[in-house]
Structure 1
Amino acid sequence: MRKYTLLIVCVATCVPTLSQNSYQKAWTALNSNDRASATVFLKEAQQDPHTQGRAYITSLLLQAFNRNEERITGFADSVYEQMEDPYPYIYALWFNRAVTGPHSVKKKPHQLKLLHKLTADNKAPVSLRTSANYVLAYNELLSGNFSAGAPYIQTIHSIRNWQYAGPFENLSGSGFYNEYAPLKYPEPESVFKNASDDTIKWFTPAFENNDGWMAPCFSIPGNTGIVYAQTFVDAPEEKSITLNMGFSGNLKLWLNDQLMILEPRERLTDLDAYSVKGVLKQGTNRILVQLGYTNNDYSSFTLRLLDEEGKPLDVNGSPVYKAYPRQQAVTDTPALLPHFAEQYFEDQLSGDSSDLLSYVLLASCYSRSKKTELAKQVIRQALVKAPGNTLLRSVYINILSAEGNNTLLEAENERLMRLDSNSEFAMNLSMQQLNKNQKYTELENKRSRYIQLYGENEISDRYAILAKAKDKKLEDIINIAEKMYQRYPDNPEMQTAMYELRKATGKGPDATLGVYEQFFKNNFHYDVFFQYLTALLNNGKKSNYQLLLEQQIKNFPHVPQFYVTLSEFFLTEKQYDKAEKYVLMALAISPYADAYWKLLGDVRKQKNEIAAALEAYHSSLKYNPDQYELIISVRKLEEKSEAYKLLPVVDEDKIINSDDYKGTDKQKAGYYFLLDQRDVVLYPDGGNEQYVTSLIKIVNEKGIERYKEVTLNSESNQSLLIEKSEVIKKDKRIQGEKNGRDIVFTNLEPGDIVFIRYRLQQFADGHFAKDFTDRYFFTGDVYCYASRYTLLAPADAAIGFRFSRDSIRPQISKAEDFTKYSWDVLHSLPEKEEPLMPGLVDVANVMYVSTIADWNKIAAWYADVVNYNEIEPEVTDVYNTLFPAGAKSENQFAKAWRIYNYIENNIHYSSVAFRQSGYIPQKPSVTLNTQLGDCKDLSRLFVALCHKAGIAANMVLIDTRNNGNRDMLLPAMDFNHCIARAMLDNKEYFIELTDNNLPFTALSNNLCGALMLDIPVHPALSSPGVMHLHTGNRSKDKVVRFIEIRPKGTDLLYYNKIIKSGHLAADVRADFRHNDEQKRLRDMEESVARGYSTGVKLSGLKFAGLDGPADSVQYEFSYVVNDQVSEVGAINAFKINYHDVVATMDQFPAEERTLPVEYWSYENTDAYETRVTVFAPEGMKFTAPPASVSLTFKDLEYTLRFQLMAPGRLQVIRKFSNSRQQFYAPGDYEGLRSFFEKIVKAEQKFIGYQ
């Protein structure tokens, strides 16, 4: 790919000349937003032959900024007259209303004039002429003249007749670098697995889009995926060619299996935007396109083959496979040919980097292909020269909007409104904000001012309607709407609004439907067409409805939705043969669309062709298994029971009458379970649903408090239906009040029984959509009379079961076409509760269920979608900033530290469900551009920069420590965090990136010992599976404290100097970093005061290392604490406050221990070192100090040493260290308790002086 090195060269601001011409003066005026003066200077500059062209273009941009460009109707003549080479300018300004206008909008006469002029201009670049022909053809379609566009389309000569395969997985754009099977297997008998693990093959749609663009979206469902398209071109002789492509998405193009074009970014281009030279071999040539897209409803591409003179080849494609000469040797991807307009303005900037117009037009050229990263880079360079120029800033804002960079976009909008509040751009933004904030009076005032400056237009009319709607002034609304309808009769948005408005005011069908009829006389719009269809049916116009659809099928034979809509109509009209005919035609275009197969099944069911209907229904379920109503219909047709009827029936009365529990523990919890039942159905095609049934006995007020309000748990990809929610009393049943997932039980009393039953249905997609994982607690923290788990699974399903403690054999039986697994346990006693006990998942008897074969399946899939090998330009730019050429060489640790600091100082942690996928990280470029990312996004960025620096690094999925030691005994996707792993100077480190207070290589306490799944760099590398995260190379969590104590009467004067490292430093930063000095002092004083029962006054608080992720934080303070010195005879005595508590007895009662001690939740520090110096009051000396203490237990070490340095100066050194062991066994409890008891006793000793 071409390197845009000139963009770096152009950053420097040129030295201005001593005198400016009118053109230069105009831009000087624009730089200070003096548009009136700029207009005058531009008129003068247009009289100068040397500047007239650029002055004319600048004037056009200025008019566009003021929303007046449509008044310029002479562009077609002027641009040719005033420009020696007009074509780059036409390309850059293509969507300007003075040129060809916005896409998908009917063209004005002056726009059509330019387009016709281009098509007849043999000097114009071939791509520009082709684009003009395409726009003219599309304009005929928008005008409702469907056949009139054919002559223009015939000039395009795009390659037709393609086969398709897909979609393949592309979550968050992760599929681009994967080599899916269609790349290597072009044969028609080849079989592939798509994104949902369904079996698919190459297919040829019955019809293709006929406008020159191939649109897989009509044939392959979904707005996210990787699609392959192949065709076979026969050439009579070997010929040198150029392959010219346009596309929506990202793209790879192969010619005879040689990669010719590679664009990993999702673009939205014109025809011929990407061109490359190639050779068409004599005979058959395979052309293969890989098109990737995310959240794109209209993925498309076009390919034109041109000879060396730029003329289209007289060849076409064929979907029929033929043998072809495959490329054997691996060769480099050929360089792209420069785009004529991009090259022109790059050259302009290279020759004169002071002309801001070239920056704007080059950015516009890049934007036409959605090369937003390059457009942004160019316009930022212009803003360096003219930071206050709001015309430039408006261009920048449009680029940020196209990029989806909302963070910077909002900041730039605010800046522009401050810089230039009366500009049209700023006023429009201001009205948007006022409307959003419902400040309607201010909005109306702003609108009036807008009209004074810029006149009435769509914007002012829109806000007028909103203001009247707010005031509910229907007559005014009607008047304004009718005026807008007359003013903008071709605006698609007006049609349905006017139809509904006339309908609401009692107008008859002629007046209401007349809105649509008038529109479609001279227009066509897809969405409005379907709104018209709905209106026709609502008004009983069935014959019109049918005729319109039949006509559109002739106009758009490649659009399956027209066939399906007509099929649904005929199904309703009971014309089943016609309904079947049209849905089969839709399936001939899109053979893997589940909705079309379901419709075919519905039609055949009505025809009483049950076997054929079932075949269609099963095909639908194969492509979308989460159709639960269809599953019920299919089972009925197959004379099978609904699956829930095969599950155990709950006899609540019998269970209630069997209750005889007398355990005293029920008083503590306030409730216990009579029944905890979970029933799961796994359907053959992949859907699953669960039924959860609970009977809870309320014992006392605690139980009432717990169950008076209940929120049921469900995931975002599950639907929840509450089937039962009632209170069973001795003499009646009372229904709970339901709202979504919430239930309120009123009038609960001890002795009542809460009865809840709800259903969860899973709606999943992607690689593991058909897999199932679960866990069920057969014991818990309260008593349960009956614990039941039932699983209905397909007979051939491979399912893993594992118990954490006591294995329970299932009862296995056949239930129609399912295998039924049942576990039933009675009288499950509550688990014993002990201080510092492990979480329930680690002590209860838990059953784990999984259909995922092994951990390698998860690790390999994740490695596959993460795409470690992709290095994006933004990553390269950051790397070059961090490690400029010629900089001093650093070791790997220093490089990784530099990368870490950059991320922590520039990227903000943000985890918001609607922005992010559950597991797939966004691309590093997105994280850099938005400056936002969650844990996986930040880890992915760190790994990408490490790879650029030559550092071995990878991502690690984490199940944090608080979720338990045994949270996943079988493969599952229950991770809740992500970090990075790096090998730095031959040492392994784990890097947490979501806390910008955390020192490099430090880990929070919740990560030490957590479950981790290492994601290999290459999917083919095996993973060792889930392990516990233990590392000796993390930044240690230490506290070093220096204390000076000076008694003064009965008070003590303390001075503290503390150094905290590791995650402890992050805690200090989190508490104090963003507070002012007053709040810091107050918070620290409150913290110190908690260690005393008498008054404390703190002063002299100072911090060092608070503002960045350095290894440690240091702070110091002094305080006076009252009434701490006691008199014992002639001796004064006090206890030392060491501040950092290393041992307490409240968690270590004197009782028999049955469970391990979860030490990690008690201690979060590796080592404490406290050095205390005590100064006796003047004239006094210390009595004999306490005896020193040295204690050890297992890995725990404690020393407390007293040393009299002088009669009036005592030094005390306390040290405590541990290896951060996760657990101590029950057999260690007494020793551990005794160890801490001795520490507590040692630290209670008095210091005496007299």
Structure 2
Amino acid sequence: SYFEKAIDSKENEQNALITLSQLYTRVNKPKSAEEAFQRFYNLSDDPYAEIYALWFTDAVIGYRGSRKSDGQLKFLEKLSKDPRRIGKIDAAMNYWLGTHHAFSFDKPNSRKYYKKINNIKNWDCLGPFDNVMNSGFDKDFGVLANPNPDAIFKSKYGASIKWFDPEMSPSDGYIFQRTNFTGYNSIVYYQTFVQSKEIKDVILKIGYTGSLKVWVNDVLMHSISEKRKTEMDYFQYKGKLQKGYNRILVQLGNYNASYANFTLRFTDLKHHNLDFSNTNEVQKYPKGQFHAEKIPFYAVEQLKKKIADNPNDLIYPFLLAKTYTRSNEINEAENILLKLQKKYPTNYLVLRSLINLYEQSGNSTEQNRYYEIYEKNNPDDMDILTNEISKHNNKKDKAEYVKLTNKFKLLYGDNYTKLTYDSNLDALNENYDAVIKKLEELYAKYPNKFDPVVSAYNLEKEFYNNPTKANKILEKYLENNFNYKILSQLITNYTEEGNHAKAIELIQKTTDLFEYDLQMNKELINIYYRQKQYDKAIKLAEKIIFINPSNYEMLKDLGVLYNMKGKTKKAIEYYERSLSYFPFSFEVNEKLRELKGQTTVMNLVEKIDPDEAIDNYKKNFKTDKKEIFDIVVNNRSFIVFKSKAVGSLVEYIIKINDEKAIQQYQAIEFSPGGNFNGYINEAQTIKANGNKINGERNSGTVTFTQLEVGDYIYVSYMETQVYGGKSSLFVYDDFSFNSYSPTYEVNYNIFTEEGMKPNFKAVNHSYQSKKKTLEGFNINSWQVINPEPLKSDFYSVPYADIAQSLHFSIGSSWYDIAQWYSDLSGHQARPNYTIETITKELFNGKNYSK
């Protein structure tokens, strides 16, 4: 190729090698990519800007979530001996060496490298606070002014909280928000006090995912509200630590960042580690005494200089865009790439970079736009061919599949790919003996690759019915590899087989390496629960709550465990704590009533007696309107707890009058709202003679077999809230009493816990409710018999305008609603680069006043 020839020119050699390293990746030649980049590394006086930009490509260290290849590992070890790396990627290098060994279940070597990072540990924690749509970033929750342990704050949903010491120090250098806090759209805080024996010039280095503020001695030195996802040490500040203790306060936000985290460390001005002692116990500190000077990140500065020195060279702006993309600086990367694309509209690497950028930022419109350009100009690209092959494989289009896979094998195929595609072709040809043979060959040749391992496992378990041998395949893989899916599957297998000892051993091996893995600890609690070892389960659950007091799911589990031990008072305490951090759990509210000796609210709801309802309908219902079905009874009961958790019970019976109704109701799909779980209590066909036939259930769909004209369908369906956010504080429901179908009886019941003030608005009717109080709930009930059906008219006004309906709301003042809307809209009102660019294109230099 052109670039392979260009490496013979000293003038172009280094840039050609960089480009080749990326192109080799795209033609399935990872070893060639490694070799090309390492050749560049050996030639360059300072290769570290390029190393940073291409860090997670196959040419350097590859995919972040796996062990490194032999070549990548050797390269990382080579970097560890290169003094040029200091102040550039020394922390990142140690982190990824440590992570490689962690993924190899090699704890000693993993810890050895993690220890070299030397990040600050011993943090007190506080939170979570509300951050809907990133609105909490600039709110003052009183944290800066109150470092003391006796200060009391109000958390996201009103729980009283204090600073807490989790007594933990993650070994890998990162502080993950989810380790100490539960919930999305939150702001949390960390503080510690760093001791310096003298006034000391330092560089404070930060890396993080999420939004971040950092104060030193109450002086704000870093503040970026937009989500970033940076490498260690990406943000650096030079300043002086005062003699004695210095307060470090970190605010971390997880809006749109599910794995929010940060790492913070100090070096001297030559980038050597400083071993300051620090404590999370509050100390006297010199407020207001810290002046920070930001140090530009080396890779950004070096690449900007190379662009200035080589204005016509495409490689440097491409690398700078990659650098910005790595840190989620979307606007900066987009600015560069759009200018490049304008100049080089079909350039392969530029288009791929734009597609990846927009995928990362969630801009599917622009991603699809540039993908179409990319696809048109690169129809034989590896990814495009892969997608086409998958599409035709799913269609079972053998001719096209063979044509495309032959092309792929010619252009990009290695032995692994060829075997995989050939086994798929055997499956299309229904030659299953050949499929099995090739899957066994794949596993024999690639025992450390995920897909062959899973295929071999499934083959042994499902086809040969040999669960013991299937487990051994997973066990062998996990001897030297870490994969969460495989690990979880093996633990599940051991547990289901009753081999709890092996399951516990594997969990403990994992938590020994990844100390604060919540999911693994939950697996262990579940095993103890199955074994009825409640004390062991409680001890582990309380350890998790000590580290993460806002973990409302674990608090709920502790309620369950103490209830199993017969300790009702303790169970109530944990259920109430769970509710203070997450008030929207209908289940927890109901469980508290049960433990306090009250009837659950769902059991206060009067249920339909289908036989009685049908009998009343037969005796009393008259209508002149003929429709394909009648509504015998339609009941809705809506329940609101004081915590704003809601649930509902819908029950109805319809009578089939026409074959068209059979077609319409033969299968009913039940789909709960996004914050709810749905439960089908009853779904029956009731024959004219009274016989009842249960519908056939398949997930959320019920099919009514043997349905005939004259039959009745009876449904009882319940929804209960399990998720929620700030908008869940505003409770609303509505119900219509009449419809286009003839209706005999309609009931609407609203249950509100005592102390709440419901609002009702009637539309197109003046029906009055009956009121009563029952076990702490006020009940408003409306019953309508023989409501006038609506007239079916092609030109009729919308149903909502003419139906007899009732609107119900409860909750907040106009101020609360305005504040909520302000929080939602404030983030959306911030312009991004795409909007700014479009605005410039539309308006710059143009006069629309004429």
Instruction: Tell me the CA shift for residue 167 of structure 1.
Output: 4.1
Instruction: Tell me the CA shift for residue 829 of structure 1.
Output: 5.4
Instruction: Tell me the CA shift for residue 716 of structure 1.
Output: 4.3
Q: How has the CA–CA distance of structure 1 residues 555 and 780 changed in structure 2, closer, same or farther, with 3 Å as cutoff?
A: closer
Q: How has the CA–CA distance of structure 1 residues 674 and 558 changed in structure 2, closer, same or farther, with 3 Å as cutoff?
A: closer
Instruction: Tell me the CA shift for residue 214 of structure 1.
Output: 0.8
Aligned counterparts of 1:788 and 1:429: Cα–Cα separation in 2: 53
Q: How has the CA–CA distance of structure 1 residues 800 and 203 changed in structure 2, closer, same or farther, with 3 Å as cutoff?
A: farther
Aligned counterparts of 1:802 and 1:425: Cα–Cα separation in 2: 56
TM-score, length basis structure 2? 0.87
Q: How has the CA–CA distance of structure 1 residues 431 and 698 changed in structure 2, closer, same or farther, with 3 Å as cutoff?
A: closer
Aligned counterparts of 2:459 and 2:184: Cα–Cα separation in 1: 33
Match of 2:254 in 1: 293
* Residue type at the aligned position of 2:317: Y
Instruction: Tell me the CA shift for residue 211 of structure 1.
Output: 0.5
Aligned counterparts of 1:128 and 1:726: Cα–Cα separation in 2: 66
* CA deviations over 1:670-700 (Å, ceiling 9, x no partner): 8776644332222354332222334567889
Match of 1:822 in 2: 781
Mean Cα displacement is larger for which, 280-289 or 192-201? 192-201
Aligned length: 846
Match of 2:438 in 1: 480
* CA deviations over 1:1117-1160 (Å, ceiling 9, x no partner): xxxxxxxxxxxxxxxxxxxxxxxxxxxxxxxxxxxxxxxxxxxx
Q: How has the CA–CA distance of structure 1 residues 207 and 840 changed in structure 2, closer, same or farther, with 3 Å as cutoff?
A: same
Instruction: Tell me the CA shift for residue 666 of structure 1.
Output: 3.5
Asked whether the equivalents of residues 781 and 840 of structure 1 are also in contact (C-alpha less than 8 Å), the reply is no
In the alignment, is residue 536 of structure 1 matched against residue 501 of structure 2?
no
In the alignment, is residue 500 of structure 1 matched against residue 464 of structure 2?
no
Match of 1:559 in 2: 517
Aligned counterparts of 1:758 and 1:113: Cα–Cα separation in 2: 60
Aligned counterparts of 1:116 and 1:835: Cα–Cα separation in 2: 76
Structure (1 or 2) with the greater helix fraction: 2
Match of 2:830 in 1: 870
* Residue type at the aligned position of 1:141: A
Match of 1:148 among 109, 116, 120: 109
Aligned counterparts of 1:698 and 1:59: Cα–Cα separation in 2: 70
Matches within 5 A, 1:880-1029: 880-884=840-844, 887=845
In the alignment, is residue 857 of structure 1 matched against residue 821 of structure 2?
no
* Residue type at the aligned position of 2:404: K
Asked whether the equivalents of residues 21 and 36 of structure 2 are also in contact (C-alpha less than 8 Å), the reply is no
* Residue type at the aligned position of 1:877: T
Instruction: Tell me the CA shift for residue 765 of structure 1.
Output: 0.9
Match of 1:943 in 2: none
Aligned counterparts of 2:656 and 2:500: Cα–Cα separation in 1: 60
Aligned counterparts of 1:399 and 1:502: Cα–Cα separation in 2: 41
Match of 1:1075 in 2: none
In the alignment, is residue 271 of structure 1 matched against residue 232 of structure 2?
yes
* CA deviations over 1:944-964 (Å, ceiling 9, x no partner): xxxxxxxxxxxxxxxxxxxxx
Instruction: Tell me the CA shift for residue 302 of structure 1.
Output: 0.8
What's the secondary structure of 2:204's corresponding residue? strand
What's the secondary structure of 1:613's corresponding residue? helix
* CA deviations over 1:1184-1226 (Å, ceiling 9, x no partner): xxxxxxxxxxxxxxxxxxxxxxxxxxxxxxxxxxxxxxxxxxx
Instruction: Tell me the CA shift for residue 509 of structure 1.
Output: 5.5
What's the secondary structure of 1:567's corresponding residue? helix
Matches within 5 A, 1:1100-1139: none
Asked whether the equivalents of residues 175 and 865 of structure 1 are also in contact (C-alpha less than 8 Å), the reply is no
Aligned counterparts of 2:612 and 2:195: Cα–Cα separation in 1: 78
Match of 1:789 in 2: 748
Match of 1:378 in 2: 336
Match of 1:576 in 2: 534
Match of 2:170 in 1: 209
Q: How has the CA–CA distance of structure 1 residues 692 and 434 changed in structure 2, closer, same or farther, with 3 Å as cutoff?
A: closer
Instruction: Tell me the CA shift for residue 583 of structure 1.
Output: 1.6
* CA deviations over 1:578-635 (Å, ceiling 9, x no partner): 2221121222222222332233233223322232223223333444556555655554
Match of 1:68 in 2: 29
Q: How has the CA–CA distance of structure 1 residues 841 and 197 changed in structure 2, closer, same or farther, with 3 Å as cutoff?
A: farther
Aligned counterparts of 2:58 and 2:744: Cα–Cα separation in 1: 75
In the alignment, is residue 762 of structure 1 matched against residue 726 of structure 2?
no
Q: How has the CA–CA distance of structure 1 residues 737 and 353 changed in structure 2, closer, same or farther, with 3 Å as cutoff?
A: same
In the alignment, is residue 44 of structure 1 matched against residue 2 of structure 2?
no
Q: How has the CA–CA distance of structure 1 residues 472 and 626 changed in structure 2, closer, same or farther, with 3 Å as cutoff?
A: farther
Q: How has the CA–CA distance of structure 1 residues 521 and 888 changed in structure 2, closer, same or farther, with 3 Å as cutoff?
A: closer
* Residue type at the aligned position of 1:527: K
* CA deviations over 1:68-99 (Å, ceiling 9, x no partner): 24146656874454112222222223234343
Q: How has the CA–CA distance of structure 1 residues 810 and 317 changed in structure 2, closer, same or farther, with 3 Å as cutoff?
A: farther
* Residue type at the aligned position of 2:543: M
Asked whether the equivalents of residues 76 and 113 of structure 1 are also in contact (C-alpha less than 8 Å), the reply is no
* CA deviations over 1:901-942 (Å, ceiling 9, x no partner): xxxxxxxxxxxxxxxxxxxxxxxxxxxxxxxxxxxxxxxxxx
What's the secondary structure of 2:276's corresponding residue? coil
TM-score, length basis structure 1? 0.61
In the alignment, is residue 130 of structure 1 matched against residue 91 of structure 2?
yes
* Residue type at the aligned position of 1:748: V
**Unmatched segments (≥5 aa) in structure 1:** 1-34, 898-1250
Aligned counterparts of 2:466 and 2:611: Cα–Cα separation in 1: 60
What's the secondary structure of 1:105's corresponding residue? coil
Aligned counterparts of 1:753 and 1:541: Cα–Cα separation in 2: 49
* Residue type at the aligned position of 1:144: F
Aligned counterparts of 1:761 and 1:156: Cα–Cα separation in 2: 47
What's the secondary structure of 2:436's corresponding residue? helix
* Residue type at the aligned position of 2:511: I
What's the secondary structure of 1:858's corresponding residue? helix
In the alignment, is residue 97 of structure 1 matched against residue 97 of structure 2?
no
Asked whether the equivalents of residues 251 and 262 of structure 1 are also in contact (C-alpha less than 8 Å), the reply is yes
What's the secondary structure of 1:450's corresponding residue? helix
What's the secondary structure of 1:769's corresponding residue? helix
Q: How has the CA–CA distance of structure 1 residues 712 and 324 changed in structure 2, closer, same or farther, with 3 Å as cutoff?
A: same
Matches within 5 A, 1:123-272: 123-171=84-132, 175-180=136-141, 182=143, 185-195=146-156, 198-222=159-183, 224-272=185-233
Aligned counterparts of 1:419 and 1:554: Cα–Cα separation in 2: 50
Aligned counterparts of 1:677 and 1:423: Cα–Cα separation in 2: 58
RMSD: 4.0
Match of 1:596 among 532, 554, 567: 554
* Residue type at the aligned position of 1:587: I
Q: How has the CA–CA distance of structure 1 residues 560 and 119 changed in structure 2, closer, same or farther, with 3 Å as cutoff?
A: same
* Residue type at the aligned position of 1:142: F
Asked whether the equivalents of residues 245 and 283 of structure 2 are also in contact (C-alpha less than 8 Å), the reply is yes
* CA deviations over 1:294-329 (Å, ceiling 9, x no partner): 56443221112233332333325433344555559x
* CA deviations over 1:746-777 (Å, ceiling 9, x no partner): 4334xx76654432333441113244222344
Greater C-alpha radius of gyration: 1
* Residue type at the aligned position of 2:821: Y
Q: How has the CA–CA distance of structure 1 residues 481 and 248 changed in structure 2, closer, same or farther, with 3 Å as cutoff?
A: farther
Q: How has the CA–CA distance of structure 1 residues 159 and 661 changed in structure 2, closer, same or farther, with 3 Å as cutoff?
A: same
Instruction: Tell me the CA shift for residue 340 of structure 1.
Output: 0.9
**Unmatched segments (≥5 aa) in structure 2:** none
* Residue type at the aligned position of 1:233: V
Instruction: Tell me the CA shift for residue 160 of structure 1.
Output: 1.5
Q: How has the CA–CA distance of structure 1 residues 809 and 660 changed in structure 2, closer, same or farther, with 3 Å as cutoff?
A: same
Match of 2:757 among 783, 798, 808: 798
* CA deviations over 1:966-998 (Å, ceiling 9, x no partner): xxxxxxxxxxxxxxxxxxxxxxxxxxxxxxxxx
Q: How has the CA–CA distance of structure 1 residues 186 and 841 changed in structure 2, closer, same or farther, with 3 Å as cutoff?
A: farther
Match of 1:1021 in 2: none
Match of 1:8 in 2: none
* Residue type at the aligned position of 1:865: L
Asked whether the equivalents of residues 261 and 334 of structure 1 are also in contact (C-alpha less than 8 Å), the reply is no
